[in-house]
């Protein structure tokens, strides 16, 4: 039997099967579409996060609360807050540090001229502009002196300024944050997202004022820009903080220093295990789809017993029948694979468009592994789950098959 | 010179060993069906020799074993004891693939129930045996169209088989049976499901195949009228041949009113 004949036969029986053929591959279609969707979205997410990390200033150190071993284990809310004003001041003094920005964050409403926006209030200093790699549109960032004097000054993120003041200049005007009056010293340019957050919705106030208004005594983190080699900077910073915290054994560290590289590594790990898990779930749906194919093929073989008898009476060998049904099942699952892949690509594109409504910076990415896996798997499923039905079809005795009604 | 010599030799062979002129030889065959350890003996020692080119009718009441004989002759079923020789070859020595190849190359089946593939065109049905042959795809179209024309269904070539009348279906089956140019046509009650007019068309075709193309035709029927198309009539009862005689008044095309 020629390959062209086998393909021809598969097309014929597919046509005869009609709607049922299409329905029978639904499991495969859904399985493969989800594999591709899941792997593509995680890949797009990974690229997005990495681009976020890299869009900030380079070679930054993030001094955070919590021991190094707690990374990814303890939710931030449960981490003991240990970073103090003393840590800030002793690091600030260092000549090898270009800038150090303390960071504390609160969600609060910001009001001006009868307009209200929900903003993210960041207690910090001018160092944040270097850390986030963002620029002033108008005015001057509040000074360290403002912080020392606990002044009520504020710098507005691009969208906050626009929403409150429209195209008017905000500088010099008063805004109301959490019931307190603040004077605007500057507005920032529109900058998009940094570390997954839209910095245009941020309002920056002096770190001391933030502690006054929100009753805090500790910092969430310090973003440090050193002017020496990274590892040396990490060692020195650790030594200073340990000294402040009276820690002699590094094992007892209650703080940690992360780099952008660490962040990328974590993203890699998280998305890696996430996509393996999700792909495994999708893989199960492929197996279920395969069982569906096997089921439909068994039904088909039974229904087509007469056809098998006719073919055998016309000279078909056992092997020809076997191949016919095997190819048919592979053909079905491969079509399922092609439809599933197209659907997966389409769903990925739609998902990215939806995500883009909420967060800019995502790029439509297709997982080549996902597509290869999907298509390869669908063929394998056709062979594996088509084998038993094909075997049964081929072994039917010609005389019994002919008598079958 | 050489041609003449070979001809003489063949003739001598024929006269000395009768086996060679018989395309089919059943020697004392029996057939038992076994279902769940229940043995049903169906054929009890059947002897039947059919010379190449003969038109033979097998008659007998329902359940007498006619179809069983046909299935054995067509390599669809195997004998229990005895010997079946086809063209001098012992069929019991053939494996499954060889039997399949024999079916394809040497036998054309025409069944009472037509056995066409439904929702498949006339063309595809007639083509079917070729995909199990060595005929390359490029040559198939011509052969298939030729046979469909031969049975007068050129205008139906792209119709589905289930859109045809019974008579047309049987003609498709005949075209399909002829597609690989086999020596033997096995027709098991080919007119059983047809009205008398269509039945006659089918029988005339079988007659022509025998007379003009020299095909060996083995026909099963329970109608005497139809059986009389054969040169020889064999009667079976309860799995044994009860009579086997030449037909003195063989029916010819002129015996009946021409169609339309
Ligand atoms: N697979 C089978 N198992 C058991 N008995 C069978 C089987 N096939 C046919 N028979 C029996 O063999 C006998 C002959 O059948 P068959 O050759 O079909 O008769 P006919 O064609 O002359 O009507 C019948 O009694 C039938 O019931
Ligand atoms: Mg019968």
Question: DSSP labels for A160-190?
Answer: HHHHHHTTS--TT-EEEETTEEEEEEEEEPP
Rounded to the nearest angstrom, the distance between the alpha carbon of B65 and the centre of ligand 1 is 6
What would the pLDDT profile of A250-304 be if each residue is shown by its tens digit? 888 899 998 888 878 877 887 788 878 877 887 787 788 888 888 888 888 888 8
CA dihedral A93, A99, A104, A107 (to 10 degrees): 150
Q: What are phi and psi of B45, to 5 degrees?
A: 70, 70
The two three-digit tokens of residue A185, written as one number:
């010293």
* Residue B162 reports pLDDT greater than 60: yes
Number of domains in chain A: 2
Residues A269 and A254 in one domain: no
**What is the overall mean pLDDT for chain B?**
90
**Average pLDDT of span A319-334:** 91
What would the pLDDT profile of A187-208 be if each residue is shown by its tens digit? 999 988 887 788 999 999 999 9
Interatomic CA distance for residues A200 and A358, integer angstroms: 13
CA dihedral A83, A85, A86, A89 (to 10 degrees): 120
In chain A, residues with a C-beta closer than 8 Å to the C-beta of B109 are: 313-314
Q: Write down the ipTM of this complex.
A: 0.89
Contact present, B30 and B41 (Cβ < 8 Å): yes
Question: DSSP labels for chain B?
Answer: -HHHHHHHHHHHHHHH-GGGGEEEEEEEEEEEEEETTEEEEEEEEEEEEEETT-EEEEE--TTSSHHHHHHHHTTSS--SEEEEEETTEEGGG--HHHHHHHHHHHEEEEETT--PPTTSBHHHHHHGGGGGSS--HHHHHHHHHHHHHHTT-GGGTTSBGGGS-HHHHHHHHHHHHHTT--SEEEEESTTTTS-HHHHHHHHHHHHHHHHHH--EEEEE-S-HHHHTTSSEEEEEETTEEEEEEE-TT---GGGSPPP-
**Average pLDDT of span A201-218:** 94
Interatomic CA distance for residues B228 and B241, integer angstroms: 18
CB atoms within 10 A of CB A153: 20
* Residue B15 reports pLDDT greater than 60: no
B71, B74, B137: residue with CB nearest A4: B137
CB atoms within 10 A of CB A262: 16
| C-alpha atoms less than 13 angstroms from C-alpha of A24 in its C-beta half-sphere | 28
Contact present, B174 and B202 (Cβ < 8 Å): yes
DSSP A317: -
Domain boundary residue, one of A200, A225, A258: A258
Residues A88 and A138 in one domain: yes
What would the pLDDT profile of B27-48 be if each residue is shown by its tens digit? 999 999 998 899 999 999 999 9
B74, B77, B131: residue with CB nearest A1: B131
In chain B, residues with a C-beta closer than 8 Å to the C-beta of A1 are: 131-132
What would the pLDDT profile of A363-385 be if each residue is shown by its tens digit? 898 888 888 887 888 888 889 98
The two three-digit tokens of residue A322, written as one number:
């076997």
Position A331 confidence tier, pLDDT thresholds 50, 70, 90: confident
Residues A238 and A337 in one domain: no
Residues A152 and A37 in one domain: no
The atom of ligand 1 lying closest to the CA of B65 is 17
Position A74 confidence tier, pLDDT thresholds 50, 70, 90: low
pTM: predicted TM-score of the whole model, two decimal places: 0.72
Residues A293 and A370 in one domain: yes
Given this model, what pLDDT does residue A32 score?
87
Residues A292 and A342 in one domain: yes
What domain range includes position A365? 3-52+265-403
* Residue B17 reports pLDDT greater than 60: no
* Residue A56 reports pLDDT greater than 80: no
Higher pLDDT, A28 or A212: A212
Residues A180 and A210 in one domain: yes
**Average pLDDT of span A154-171:** 93
Interhelix angle for A318-358 vs A3-17, to 10°? 60
Report which protein residue has its CA nearest ligand 1's atom 4: B33
Interatomic CA distance for residues A336 and A379, integer angstroms: 9
Given this model, what pLDDT does residue A301 score?
87
The atom of ligand 1 lying closest to the CA of B60 is 22
Residues A204 and A111 in one domain: yes
* Long-range pairs for A176-180: beta carbons < 8 A, 24 or more residues apart: A176/A110, A176/A111, A176/A112, A177/A108, A177/A109, A177/A110, A177/A111, A177/A119, A177/A121, A177/A203, A177/A205, A177/A213, A178/A106, A178/A108, A178/A109, A178/A121, A178/A213, A178/A214, A180/A152, A180/A213
In chain B, residues with a C-beta closer than 8 Å to the C-beta of A404 are: none
In this structure, which residues have their CB less than 5 angstroms from ion ligand 2? B 67
Domain boundary residue, one of A238, A258, A278: A258
Residues A128 and A211 in one domain: yes
Contact present, A54 and A362 (Cβ < 8 Å): no
List Cβ neighbours of A275 (8 Å cut-off, separation of 6 or more). Answer: A38, A39, A42, A43
B108 touches chain A (CB under 8 A): no
**Average pLDDT of span A52-76:** 77
Given this model, what pLDDT does residue B75 score?
97
Residues A275 and A241 in one domain: no
What would the pLDDT profile of B176-199 be if each residue is shown by its tens digit? 999 999 999 999 999 999 999 999
Q: Where are the alpha helices (DSSP H) in A205-304?
A: 207-214, 230-245, 260-303
Given this model, what pLDDT does residue B11 score?
41
Query: Is the Cα torsion angle B77, B78, B83, B88 positive or negative in sign?
Result: positive
Three-state SS annotation for B28-89? EEEEEEEECCEEEEEEEEEEEEEECCCEEEEECCCCCCHHHHHHHHCCCCCCCEEEEEECCE
CB atoms within 10 A of CB B170: 29
What would the pLDDT profile of A111-130 be if each residue is shown by its tens digit? 998 899 999 999 999 999 98
Residue in B13, B73, B75, B14 with CA at minimum distance from that of residue B46: B73
Residues A251 and A300 in one domain: no
DSSP A106: E
Higher pLDDT, B84 or A362: B84
Q: Which of helix, strand or coil describes residue A219?
A: strand
Domain boundary residue, one of A258, A278, A296: A258
Which element (helix H / strand E) includes A50? helix A26-55
Q: How far is CA A1 from CA A8, A313, B125, B145, in A?
A: 11, 16, 16, 21
* Residue A321 reports pLDDT greater than 80: yes
Let me know if A304 is exposed, middle or buried by CB neighbors in 10 A (0-12, 13-18, 19+): buried
CA distance between the termini of chain B: 51
Determine if ligand 1 sits within 6 Å of the CB of residue B132.
no
In chain B, residues with a C-beta closer than 8 Å to the C-beta of A398 are: 76-77, 103
What would the pLDDT profile of A5-44 be if each residue is shown by its tens digit? 888 888 887 777 777 777 888 888 888 898 888 888 888 8
Rounded to the nearest angstrom, the distance between the alpha carbon of A134 and the centre of ligand 2 is 92
Interatomic CA distance for residues A95 and A89, integer angstroms: 12
Residues A101 and A190 in one domain: yes
CA distance between the termini of chain A: 27
Interatomic CA distance for residues A326 and A68, integer angstroms: 56
Rounded to the nearest angstrom, the distance between the alpha carbon of B221 and the centre of ligand 2 is 9
Given this model, what pLDDT does residue B86 score?
97
Given this model, what pLDDT does residue A148 score?
93
* Residue B98 reports pLDDT greater than 90: yes
Given this model, what pLDDT does residue A293 score?
84
Q: Which residues of A touch B (CB under 8 A)?
A: 1-2, 4-5, 8-9, 12, 16, 306-307, 309-320, 398-399, 402
Contact present, B100 and B148 (Cβ < 8 Å): no
Given this model, what pLDDT does residue A292 score?
84
Name residue B233's beta-bridge partners: B57, B245
* Residue B257 reports pLDDT greater than 70: no
């Amino acid at each position: 039997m020629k390959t062209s004949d086998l393909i021809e036969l598969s097309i014929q029986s597919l046509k005869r099967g009609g709607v049922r053929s299409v329905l029978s591959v639904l499991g495969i279609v859904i399985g493969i579409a989800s594999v591709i969707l899941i792997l593509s979205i995680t890949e797009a997410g990974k690229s997005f996060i990495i681009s976020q990390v890299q869009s900030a200033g380079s070679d930054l150190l993030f001094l955070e609360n919590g021991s190094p071993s707690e990374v990814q284990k303890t939710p931030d809310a449960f981490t003991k807050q240990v970073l103090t004003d003393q840590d800030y001041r002793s690091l600030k003094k260092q000549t090898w540090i270009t800038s150090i920005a303390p960071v504390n964050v609160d969600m609060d409403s910001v009001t001006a001229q009868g307009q209200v926006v929900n903003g993210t209030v960041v207690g910090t200093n001018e160092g944040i502009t270097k850390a986030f790699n963002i620029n002033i549109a108008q005015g001057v960032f509040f000074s360290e002196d403002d912080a020392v004097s606990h002044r009520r000054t504020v710098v507005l993120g691009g969208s906050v300024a626009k929403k409150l003041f429209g195209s008017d200049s905000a500088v010099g005007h008063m805004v109301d944050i959490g019931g307190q009056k603040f004077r605007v010293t500057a507005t920032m340019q529109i900058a998009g997202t940094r570390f997954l957050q839209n910095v245009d919705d941020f309002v920056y106030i002096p770190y001391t004022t933030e502690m006054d208004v929100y009753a805090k005594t500790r910092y969430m983190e310090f973003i440090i820009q050193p002017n020496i080699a990274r590892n040396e900077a990490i060692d020195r910073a650790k030594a200073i903080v340990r000294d402040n915290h009276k820690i002699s054994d590094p094992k007892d560290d209650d703080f940690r220093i992360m780099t952008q590289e660490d962040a990328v590594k974590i993203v890699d790990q998280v998305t890696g295990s996430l996509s393996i898990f999700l792909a495994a779930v999708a893989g199960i749906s492929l197996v279920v789809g395969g069982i569906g194919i096997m089921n439909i093929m068994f039904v088909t073989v039974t229904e087509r017993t007469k056809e098998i008898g006719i073919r055998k009476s016309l000279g078909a060998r056992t092997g020809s029948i076997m191949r016919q049904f095997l190819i048919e099942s592979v053909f079905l699952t491969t079509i399922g694979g092609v439809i599933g892949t197209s659907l997966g690509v389409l769903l990925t594109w739609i998902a990215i468009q939806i995500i883009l409504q909420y967060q800019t910076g995502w790029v439509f990415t297709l997982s080549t592994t996902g597509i290869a896996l999907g298509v390869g798997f669908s063929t394998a499923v056709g062979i594996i789950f088509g084998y038993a039905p094909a075997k049964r079809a081929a072994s039917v005795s010609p005389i019994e098959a002919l008598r079958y009604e | 010179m050489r041609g003449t010599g070979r001809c003489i030799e063949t003739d001598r062979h024929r006269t000395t060993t009768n086996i060679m002129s018989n395309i089919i030889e059943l020697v004392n065959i029996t057939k038992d069906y076994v279902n769940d350890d229940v043995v049903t003996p169906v054929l009890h020692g059947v002897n039947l020799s059919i010379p190449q080119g003969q038109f033979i009718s097998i008659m007998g009441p329902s359940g007498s074993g006619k179809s069983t004989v046909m299935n054995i002759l067509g390599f669809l079923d195997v004998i229990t004891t005895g010997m079946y020789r086809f063209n001098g070859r012992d069929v019991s020595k053939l494996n499954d693939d060889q039997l399949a190849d024999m079916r394809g190359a040497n036998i054309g089946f025409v069944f009472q129930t037509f056995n066409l593939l439904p929702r498949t065109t006339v063309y595809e049905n007639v083509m079917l045996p070729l995909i199990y042959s060595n005929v390359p795809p490029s040559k198939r179209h011509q052969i298939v169209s030729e046979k469909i024309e031969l049975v007068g269904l050129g205008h139906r070539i792209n119709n589905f088989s289930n859109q045809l009348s019974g008579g047309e279906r049987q003609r498709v089956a005949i075209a399909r049976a002829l597609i690989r140019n086999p020596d033997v046509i096995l027709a098991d009650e080919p007119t059983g499901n047809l009205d008398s007019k269509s039945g006659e068309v089918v029988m005339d075709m079988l007659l022509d195949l025998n007379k003009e193309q020299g095909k060996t035709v083995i026909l099963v029927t329970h109608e005497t009228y139809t059986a009389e198309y054969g040169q020889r009539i064999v009667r079976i009862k309860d799995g044994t041949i009860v009579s086997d005689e030449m037909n003195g008044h063989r029916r010819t095309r002129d015996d009946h009113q021409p169609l339309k």
